[in-house]
Amino acid sequence: MEQYAIRGGNPLVGEVEIGGAKNAALAILAAAVMTDEPVIIENVPDLRDTMAMLQAMESIGVVVEKLDRHTVKIIGGSLKNVVIEDDSIKKIRGSYYFLGALLGKCRRAEVALPGGCNIGLRPIDQHIKGFRALGADVRIEHGLIITEAQQLKGSHIYLDVVSVGATINVLMAAAMAEGQTIIENAAKEPHVVDVANFLNSMGANIKGAGTDVIRVKGVSKLHGTEYAIIPDQIEAGTFMFAAAVTKGDVTVKNVIPKHLESISAKLMEIGCEVEESDDAVRVVAAKPLTHTHVKTLPYPGFPTDMQPQITVALGLSKGTSIVTESIFENRFKYVDELTRMGANIKVEGNTAIIDGVNKYTGASISAPDLRAGAALVTAALAAEGVSIIDDIKFIERGYEDFPQKLQSLGALIEKVGSEREIQKFRLKTG
Ligand code: UD1
Which atom in ligand 1 lies closest to the alpha carbon of residue 161? 29
What pLDDT is stored for residue 115 in this prediction?
66
Cα separation values, 400 from 88, 179, 391, 427, Å: 18, 40, 16, 27
Which atom in ligand 1 lies closest to the alpha carbon of residue 119? 12
What pLDDT is stored for residue 117 in this prediction?
60
pLDDT digits (tens, 9 = 90+) for 228-243: 999 999 999 999 999 9
CB-based contact 264:233 (threshold 8 Å): no
- The response to whether residue 417 sits with its C-beta less than 6 Å from ligand 1 reads no
CB-based contact 244:313 (threshold 8 Å): yes
Cα separation values, 175 from 5, 83, 217, Å: 47, 21, 7
157 and 64: one domain? yes
What pLDDT is stored for residue 33 in this prediction?
97
Distance (Å, whole) CA 38 – CA 26: 18
The catalytic position among 12, 52, 117, 255 is: 117
The helix (run of H) or strand (run of E) holding residue 366 is: strand 364-366
Phi-psi region of 309 (alpha: psi -120 to 50; beta: other; left: phi over 0): alpha
What pLDDT is stored for residue 405 in this prediction?
98
What pLDDT is stored for residue 153 in this prediction?
97
**How sure is the predictor about 142, in pLDDT bands with cuts at 50, 70 and 90?**
confident
181 and 315: one domain? no
251 and 327: one domain? yes
Residue 87 has pLDDT above 90, yes or no: no
Distance (Å, whole) CA 252 – CA 55: 31
CB-based contact 233:243 (threshold 8 Å): no
Distance (Å, whole) CA 36 – CA 84: 18
What pLDDT is stored for residue 330 in this prediction?
82
Residues 6+ apart with CB under 8 A from 58: 64
Residue 331 has pLDDT above 80, yes or no: yes
Domain boundary (168, 199, 228) is at 228
Mean predicted confidence (pLDDT) in 203-231: 98
What pLDDT is stored for residue 118 in this prediction?
63
Distance (Å, whole) CA 322 – CA 9: 26
Quote the ligand 1 centre to 167 CA distance (angstroms): 10
279 and 372: one domain? yes
**How sure is the predictor about 101, in pLDDT bands with cuts at 50, 70 and 90?**
very high
Mean predicted confidence (pLDDT) in 69-97: 89
Q: Atom 26 (ligand 1): residue with closest C-alpha? A: 122
Tell me the HSE value of 39 on the side-chain side, using a 13 A CA sphere.
Answer: 31
Quote the ligand 1 centre to 163 CA distance (angstroms): 5
Residues 6+ apart with CB under 8 A from 158: 184, 185
The helix (run of H) or strand (run of E) holding residue 428 is: helix 419-429
Mean predicted confidence (pLDDT) in 87-95: 79
Distance (Å, whole) CA 331 – CA 350: 8
CB-based contact 84:60 (threshold 8 Å): yes
211 and 315: one domain? no
Residue 136 has pLDDT above 60, yes or no: yes
- The response to whether residue 164 sits with its C-beta less than 6 Å from ligand 1 reads yes
Q: When comparing pLDDT for 140 and 339, which is higher? A: 339
Q: Atom 9 (ligand 1): residue with closest C-alpha? A: 23
Which atom in ligand 1 lies closest to the alpha carbon of residue 371? 11
What pLDDT is stored for residue 176 in this prediction?
98
| Burial environment of residue 258 by CB neighbours within 10 A (0 to 12, 13 to 18, 19 or more) | exposed
- The response to whether residue 26 sits with its C-beta less than 6 Å from ligand 1 reads yes
Phi, psi of 428 (to 5 degrees): -65, -35
Strand partners, 386: 7
Quote the ligand 1 centre to 94 CA distance (angstroms): 10
- The response to whether residue 50 sits with its C-beta less than 6 Å from ligand 1 reads no
CB-based contact 345:339 (threshold 8 Å): yes
Residue 73 has pLDDT above 70, yes or no: yes
Mean predicted confidence (pLDDT) in 19-27: 97
Q: Report the amino acid identity of residue 342.
A: G
For Cα atoms 402, 430, 14, give the angle at the middle one, nearest 5 degrees: 40
The helix (run of H) or strand (run of E) holding residue 100 is: helix 97-106
109 and 215: one domain? yes
**How sure is the predictor about 146, in pLDDT bands with cuts at 50, 70 and 90?**
very high
Residue 3 has pLDDT above 60, yes or no: yes
Quote the ligand 1 centre to 162 CA distance (angstroms): 8
Catalytic residue flag (residue 117)? yes
379 and 347: one domain? yes
10 and 62: one domain? no
Mean predicted confidence (pLDDT) in 10-21: 98
- The response to whether residue 161 sits with its C-beta less than 6 Å from ligand 1 reads yes
Task: State which of 124, 125, 163, 234 you would mutate to test the pocket of ligand 1, scoring each by most atoms of that ligand within 8 A of its C-beta.
Answer: 163
- The response to whether residue 21 sits with its C-beta less than 6 Å from ligand 1 reads no
187 and 309: one domain? no
238 and 380: one domain? yes
Domain boundary (178, 205, 228) is at 228
What pLDDT is stored for residue 163 in this prediction?
97
179 and 75: one domain? yes
The closest of 245, 236, 275 to 343, measured between CA atoms, is: 245
| Burial environment of residue 358 by CB neighbours within 10 A (0 to 12, 13 to 18, 19 or more) | exposed
Number of domains in the chain: 2
| Burial environment of residue 117 by CB neighbours within 10 A (0 to 12, 13 to 18, 19 or more) | buried
For the entire predicted model, the pTM comes to: 0.96
Residues 6+ apart with CB under 8 A from 165: 93, 96, 97, 124, 127
Q: What is the mean pLDDT of the chain?
A: 95
SS3 assignment, position 81:
coil
Cα separation values, 419 from 341, 376, 415, Å: 21, 21, 12
Q: List the CATH number of the domain containing 188.
A: 3.65.10.10
Residues 6+ apart with CB under 8 A from 195: 24, 27, 28, 31, 168, 171, 172, 209
Mean predicted confidence (pLDDT) in 309-336: 95
Q: Report the amino acid identity of residue 418.
A: S
Quote the ligand 1 centre to 123 CA distance (angstroms): 8
297 and 368: one domain? yes
Domain boundary (175, 203, 228) is at 228
Q: Please give the residue range of the domain that contains residue 36.
A: 22-228
Residue 123 has pLDDT above 60, yes or no: yes
* Peptide linkage before 190 cis (omega within 30 of 0): no
The closest of 169, 114, 93, 161 to 326, measured between CA atoms, is: 161
Quote the ligand 1 centre to 139 CA distance (angstroms): 20
Residue 346 has pLDDT above 90, yes or no: yes
